[in-house]
Amino acid sequence: MTELPNVHVRAEVLAQALPHMQRYDQEIVVIKYGGHAMGDRAAAEDFAEDIVLLEQSGLKPIVVHGGGPQIGKMLDRLGIQSEFRGGLRVTDEATVEVVEMVLAGSINKQIVGWISAEGGRAIGLCGKDGNMVRAKRAMKTVKDPGSDIEQVVDLGLVGEPEHVERGVLDAVLKAELIPVLAPVAYGADGQTYNVNADTFAGAIAGALRAKRLLLLTDVPGVLDKDKKLIPELTVEDCRRLIADGTITGGMIPKIETCIYAIDQGVEAVVILNGKVNHAVLLELFTDYGAGTLIRRG
């Protein structure tokens, strides 16, 4: 008689997943899918499988995607020169047209296609649809390297969420569809704004009081000063680690998004490596967290 050890192992894994599935049954989970994390086709297909499995298991997943690397490539292909201020790209009228084309067009429909190929029913939207997200112009501050004085930098048509109208998403989720959202939105002035995908995902998660917000990126999570993963943090821990210089650079705005989402009612946020196979399933359906979990404390 042929032994079936792998089958028994798989059955055990499924049994262990049951309490996690019950915890998230009918709960909203917002997943931010980063531009670098979506660069590998096989990893993208694994991600799509994860999203379909979440929906089939009774969760209500919402995908928010970025696309910085893809935007950069398209700008280069079209010969559009980017201006940088304080190390940040300025979004002018020509650039925002490309941003909208890449994010709300090619990338958005590509992700919808991947989910559909795995048997899911996804719908691609952006912040403009149904006036879902209204944005305002974002003003960033950067430190002058010479004087260490903070200066306000005008990044043009870069926006930040000002208001989320949840009615569209409620209707989509009620229809048992998976929303795939591009972070492009109108302002009150009728102008199109490019919104940071992390910030956009945080605003969506907060408005819908999501059970979890997952920020998929290209690093394992929050690292300590010895570059070791910190598995769990409170909001107070995050503020302390920013103050003492442990959390620096691009991780600071991610952590600020986490704190904002938790303040808005999200139970917990996880920063994890989107390049790990089935990272979403590992985080939600197993006892082994795949990144750094951040709670109120």
Burial code (b: 16+ CB inside 10 Å, e: under 16) for 161-177 equals beebeeebbeebbeeeb
Q: Environment class of residue 56 by beta-carbon count within 10 Å: exposed (0-12), middle (13-18) or buried (19+)?
A: exposed
DSSP letter at 38 equals: T
Q: Is 58 left (phi over 0), alpha (psi -120 to 50) or beta?
A: left
The residues, any chain, with a CB within 8 Å of residue 242's CB and separated by 6 or more, are: 252, 255
Candidates 222, 196, 158, 227; CA nearest to 35 is: 196
68 is in an annotated binding site: yes
184-187/232-234 β-pairing:
unpaired
Q: Is 67 annotated as a binding residue?
A: yes
Three-class SS of residue 2?
coil
What are the structure tokens assigned to 226, written together? Answer: 């010895």
Check the annotation: does 194 bind a ligand: yes
Query: What CA–CA distance (Å, rounded) separates 264 from 277?
Result: 30
Tell me the C-alpha distance between 270 and 217, whole Å.
11
Indicate the residue type of 105.
Answer: G
What does 60-76 look like in DSSP terms, one character per residue?
EEEEEE--HHHHHHHHH
Strands across the sheet containing 178-182: 122-126, 178-182, 60-65, 28-33, 212-217, 268-273, 291-295, 232-234
Smallest Cα–Cα separation from 254: which of 288, 290, 228, 223?
Answer: 223
Binding residues for substrate: 67-68, 89, 194
